[in-house]
Amino acid sequence: MADRRQTVRLDLGGRPNVIGILALAGQPTAQCPVLLADPANPQSGMFQCRATTQADGSFAFSGVPSGRHAVYYQGSVEWTRWIKVTTVDVTTEDLDLGTLPRSLAQVAVTLTGPAASGATDWTVSLKEGPPFWSQKIGEVAIPETADQPFLITQVLPGTYTLLVQSPDGTRQVTKTIEIGIEPIHLDVTVEIPPGRAPSAGHPQRDRRDAIPLQQGPVAVGQTRRRQPLLPDHGPAGRRLLCGQSLSPG
């Protein structure tokens, strides 16, 4: 309950109104959730306003506070994510955004190198800001075969960081790319670095056939006390652990 000395204002709608039409792939998009929220992160900020597009793709947000906001729509590939289509500056006047998005690009990312074989289970994402904790940009279509590229669509103009990450998270490659104002198709090639062989276990002395891992920080069979076997960060190649040959993953 508000203190009697305070003035409390409840905004239940009204001006200014922000309206527009969502047209993905050049066609009006009906029954699509849209969001007006913080430009840096749709899940943060003091203000959020949700709506659903009509049959003609139109949407409206009412009672929008002055300031900079972004319009998002709910992704079709990753439906839990919000895809940014534009950033707007709102004043006290109504604002008609017209048809959105105005200019979008798609980025085809091809993975190359000996380690790229069967790399369809790698994660490819486009980030706005620091690559490991900033929000993703666009929608990523995973290729069906290793010779096909990852396709990132619905990308606004700007400078981004491309992050390519192995399934276990031990290898990452980053690359800065720039998207121009005109709608474009950008081809990007990323070379996957050679693999390293992660090793884990608890070495014990009672294995007579144990052979130490070459250039690893812990040698198998050299202590009675159980201890974790740290990852081997030596050069790519084969290793021997208790008489069994290991290949780098």
The pLDDT value given to residue 124: 92
Q: Read out DSSP for the chain?
A: ---TTS------S-SS-EEEEEEETTEE--S-EEEEE-SS-TT-SS--EEEE--TTSEEEE-SPPSEEEEEEEE-SSSTTSEEEEEEEEE-SS-EEEEEE-SS-EEEEEEEESGGGTTGGGSEEEEESSSTTTSPB-SEEEPPSSTTSPEEEEEE-SEEEEEEEE-TTSS-EEEEEEEE-SS--EEEEEEEPPPP---------TT-TT--PPTT-SS-TTS-SS----PPP-S-SS-EEETTEEE---
> Which range (29-33, 83-87, 242-246) has the least confidence?
242-246
The pLDDT value given to residue 17: 94
> Which range (69-83, 99-113, 222-236) has the least confidence?
222-236
> Which range (47-51, 167-171, 220-224) has the least confidence?
220-224
Domains and CATH numbers, the chain: 18-100 (2.60.40.10), 105-191 (2.60.40.1110), 196-249 (no CATH)
The pLDDT value given to residue 189: 92
pLDDT band at 212 (very low <50, low <70, confident <90, very high): low
The pLDDT value given to residue 245: 43
> What's the CA gap between 134 and 153, in Å, rounded?
18
pLDDT in tens, 50-72: 999 999 999 999 999 999 999 99
pLDDT of 199 > 60? The answer is no
Q: Report the DSSP beta bridge partners of residue 95.
A: 18
Average pLDDT rounded to a whole number, residues 75-88: 78
The pLDDT value given to residue 229: 45
pLDDT of 232 > 90? The answer is no
pLDDT of 238 > 90? The answer is no
The pLDDT value given to residue 50: 93
The pLDDT value given to residue 35: 95
Most confident of 78-82, 136-140, 181-185: 136-140
The pLDDT value given to residue 132: 75
Residue of 162 and 183 predicted with greater confidence? 162
- Answer whether the bond into residue 131 is a cis peptide, omega within 30°: no
Average pLDDT rounded to a whole number, residues 235-239: 50
The pLDDT value given to residue 247: 46
